[in-house]
Amino acid sequence: MGVYLFVKYLKDEEFIKKFGQKLKQVRESKGLSQEQLSLLSEVSQSQIARTELGQVNTSISHVAIYAKFLKVDPKELFDFSTVKK
């Protein structure tokens, strides 16, 4: 008889939106378009757009890729102190 564990999927809509706003803010501060970031990172432009709009709960792998090509420490993408409320 096996043991079954059920994990509740948590999705923090506000956090996801703030992350998207911050990603957009950093990308624009670096003078990059979504298309340019897409070409550098090999993440589709539509995925970047959905992330910036707070429509997708992006993966930690994507966070690392964005940080690499935006030339920032990943933790900067989680500093929401400059994100408009």
Q: Give the pLDDT confidence of 47-82 residue by residue, as tens digits.
A: 999 999 999 999 999 999 999 999 999 999 999 999
Q: How many CB atoms lie within 10 A of CB 56?
A: 16
Q: How far is CA 50 from CA 17, 34, 40, in A?
A: 10, 11, 17
- Measured CA to CA, the distance from residue 74 to residue 67 in angstroms comes to 5
Tens of pLDDT, residue by residue over 2-46, are 677 776 777 899 999 999 999 999 999 999 999 999 999 999 999
Domain boundaries, the chain: 13-77
- CA atoms within 13 A of residue 33's CA, in its CB half-sphere: 5
State pTM to two decimals.
Answer: 0.87
Burial class (CB in 10 A: 0-12, 13-18, 19+), 8: exposed
Tell me which CATH homologous superfamily contains domain 13-77: lambda repressor-like DNA-binding domains (1.10.260.40)
